[in-house]
Chain A
Amino acid sequence: MNWFSDNVNQIALLGAAVIILATVFVVGKYIKQMKTDRSTGVLADDTWDGIGEYKNPLPMGWAITFLLTMIWAMWYLTLGYPVNSYSQIGEWNEEVQAYNKAFEEKHKNIKGEELTNMGEGVFLVQCAPCHGIDAEGINGKAQGFVDQRMTKEQVLDVINRGSAALGDNPAGNLGYPMMVMPPMMATGADAEAIAEYVSKGMKGDAPVSFAACSSCHGVDGKGLGGQSPNIAEFDEILIMKTLEHGKVGSIGDMPKFNDGRLSDIQKRAVSTYILSLSK
Chain B
Amino acid sequence: MFHWLEKNPFFFAVGVFLVIAFAGIISILPDFAKSSQPLVGTKPYTVLELTGRHVYIKDSCNACHSQLIRPFKNETDRYGKYSLSGEYAYDRPFLWGSKRTGPDLMRIGNYRTTDWHANHMWEPTAIVPGSIMPRYRHHFTNIANFETAYAEAVTVKKVFNVPYDKPNMPKLGTFEEAQKEALIEAKKIAAAMKKDTDNNDIKTALDNGQIPEIVALIAYLNSLK
> A residues touching B (Cβ–Cβ < 8 Å)?
88-89, 91-92, 95-96, 99, 125-126, 129-130, 133, 138-139, 141, 251-257, 259, 261
Question: Quick check: A92 and B76 within 8 Å, CB to CB?
Answer: yes
Instruction: Decide yes or no whether B192 CB sits under 8 A from chain A.
Output: yes
Q: A138-B127, A141-B119 are in contact. Are A92 and B72 (CB under 8 A)?
A: yes
- The residues of A that contact B76 with a CB separation of less than 8 Å are 92, 96
Chain A residues within an 8 Å CB radius of B196: 139
The closest CB in chain A to the CB of B130 belongs to A133
**Which residues from chain B contact A88 at a C-beta distance below 8 Å?**
71
Can you name 5 A-B residue pairings with CB atoms under 8 Å? A99-B73, A133-B129, A139-B196, A259-B80, A259-B110
In the complex, A129→B128 CA distance in Å?
Answer: 6
How many Å lie between the Cα of A95 and that of B76 in the bound state? 11
Contact A92 B71 (CB under 8 A): yes
Please, which residues of chain A bring their CB within 8 A of the CB of B129? Answer: 133
Chain A nearest CB: distance from B102 CB in Å? Answer: 12
> Which chain B residues lie closer than 8 Å to A257 at the CB level?
111
Contact mask for chain B residues 69-97; partner A; CB cutoff 8 A; 1 contact, 0 none: 00111001110111000000000000000
Known: A96-B73, A255-B113, A259-B80. 4 other contacts (CB 8 A): A92-B71, A92-B72, A252-B113, A261-B77
Q: Using CB atoms, name the residue of chain B closest to A253.
A: B113
User: Which chain B residues numbered 113 to 131 have a C-beta less than 8 Å away from chain A?
Assistant: 113-116, 119, 126-129
With A and B bound together, what is the CA distance between A129 and B124 in angstroms?
A: 11
Contact of B114 among A125, A133, A253 (CB under 8 A): A253
- Asked whether B138 is an interface residue with its Cβ less than 8 Å from the other chain, the reply is no
Contacts of B126 in A (CB 8 A): 138
Residue numbers in B under 8 Å from A261 (CB-CB): 77, 80
Taken together as a complex, chains A and B put the C-alpha atoms of A156 and B126 apart, in Å, by 28
Chain A interface helix/strand/loop/mixed: mixed
4 tightest A-B CB contacts, nearest first = A92-B71, A252-B115, A253-B113, A255-B111
Bound-complex Cα distance A251 to B194 (A): 9
- Decide: B127 and A129 in contact? CB cutoff 8 A: yes
- CB-CB nearest in chain B for A126: B111
Distance between Cα atoms of A252 and B113 in the complex (Å): 8
Q: Separation in Å of the A251 CB from the closest CB of chain B?
A: 8
A255 to B13, CA, bound (A): 61
Closest Cβ of chain A to B69, distance in Å, is 11
- A89-B69 Cα distance, complex, nearest whole Å: 12
**What A residues does B127 contact at CB under 8 A?**
129, 138, 141
- Interface flag for B112 (CB, 8 Å): yes
B residues less than 8 Å from A139 (CB atoms): 196
| Nearest CB in chain A to that of B103: its residue | A129
Question: CB within 8 A of A252: which of B72, B80, B82, B194?
Answer: B194
Q: Do A130 and B77 touch (CB < 8 A)? A: no
The residue on A at minimum CB distance from B128 is: A129
B77–A141 touching, CB < 8 Å: no
CB-defined contacts of B110 to chain A, threshold 8 Å: 255-256, 259
Q: Considering the complex, give the chain B residue whose CB is closest to the CB of A96.
A: B73
Q: A91 touching B116 by the CB < 8 A rule? A: no
Contact A95 B73 (CB under 8 A): yes
What residue of chain A has the Cβ atom nearest to residue B109's Cβ? A255
| Distance of A256 Cα from B192 Cα, bound (Å) | 17
Question: Could you tell me the distance between the alpha carbons of A96 and B73 in the complex, rounded to whole angstroms?
Answer: 6
A257 → B minimal CB distance (Å): 8
Contacts of B111 in A (CB 8 A): 126, 255, 257
Q: Which of A91, A125, A141 has the most CB of B within 10 A?
A: A141
Whether the pair B128, A141 counts as a contact (CB closer than 8 A) is: no
Distance (whole angstroms) from the CB of A97 to the closest CB of chain B: 10
Give CA–CA (A6, B128) in the complex, Å. 44
Interfacial chain A residues near B113, Cβ < 8 Å:
130, 252-255
Q: Is the CB of A253 within 8 A of B192?
A: yes
Compute how far the CA of A256 lies from the CA of B107 in the bound complex, rounded to whole angstroms.
Answer: 13
Contact B81 A259 (CB under 8 A): yes
Which B163-207 residues have C-beta < 8 A from chain A? 192, 194, 196
CB pair B71–A141 under 8 Å, yes or no, is no
**Residue from B72, B76, B80, B111 whose CB has the most chain A CB atoms within 10 Å:** B111
Is A129's CB under 8 angstroms from B116's CB?
yes
Q: Which of A95, A130, A133 has the most CB of B within 10 A?
A: A130
Contact B73 A255 (CB under 8 A): no
A89 and B194 contact, Cβ closer than 8 Å, known pairs A253-B113, A261-B80: no
Instruction: Check A255–B71 contact: CB distance below 8 A.
Output: no
Q: Which residues of B contact A96 (CB under 8 A)?
A: 73, 76
In the assembly, what is the distance between CA of A129 and CA of B111, in Å?
10
Q: Do A92 and B73 touch (CB < 8 A)?
A: yes
CA distance A261 to B111 in the complex (A): 11
